[in-house]
Amino acid sequence: MAESEEYPKDYYSNPTTRVSSSSSSSTTSVHVTALDGIVNVNSLFTIAVFVGLSLTTPGQHSLENPSACDAGVDVAKKLLVFEVVSFSFFLFSSLVAQGLKLALNLINSKDVDEAFRAHINLKVLRFGMTGCAIGSVMGCLFLMLSIVNVIQIRLGMLSCGSKSAVHAAAALIVLVSTALLAYISTAIYAFWH
């Protein structure tokens, strides 16, 4: 097939058209890939939420010997609330990301071969991606709080001073907080620079 049959003649005669089309295509492809990553990570975290929900059985004894260190019903209630809130944030983030992907893939895309080329307002895209990031961060925070309650149910209350419970909770809080700070810093830098 000749080049003139495949693309309009104006496409080849105007070099700026090719540059902006390629730039738009690669930028849109990067955004779609980022949104795919958000959806995939949120899916993994959602699995963790359901694992945590399975641990909300009241009256469960911890691995600590004194029964006074067993978590009460209030800790199981907190675990359930944190899991539901975490799931809600992950679902919000994933749905916004899927909506943005739909807009990027379908709106203004007239050719099947141009699936990664769409004209969308950059402010709307940034606002939506910021919403996705905030939803993911809040979901992670509530998931971390729920895992602290899982630790208290399984290893004993932190107030009892169980070494294994304190070490596990401290490692979780330090590592997740550090990762979230890195994620937030990177996201802010990427969105505004």
pTM, two decimal places: 0.72
Q: Across 22-146, where does the E strand assignment appear?
A: none
Range name among 44-53, 73-82, 91-100 with the lowest pLDDT average: 44-53
Answer whether residue 189 shows pLDDT above 80: yes
Q: How far is Cα 143 from Cα 180, in angstroms, rounded to an integer?
A: 12
Mean pLDDT (whole number) for 126-135: 87
Q: Report DSSP state, residue 117.
A: -
Q: What is the DSSP string of 136-154?
A: HHHHHHHHHHHHHHHHHHH
Backbone phi, psi, residue 119, to 5°: -100, 110
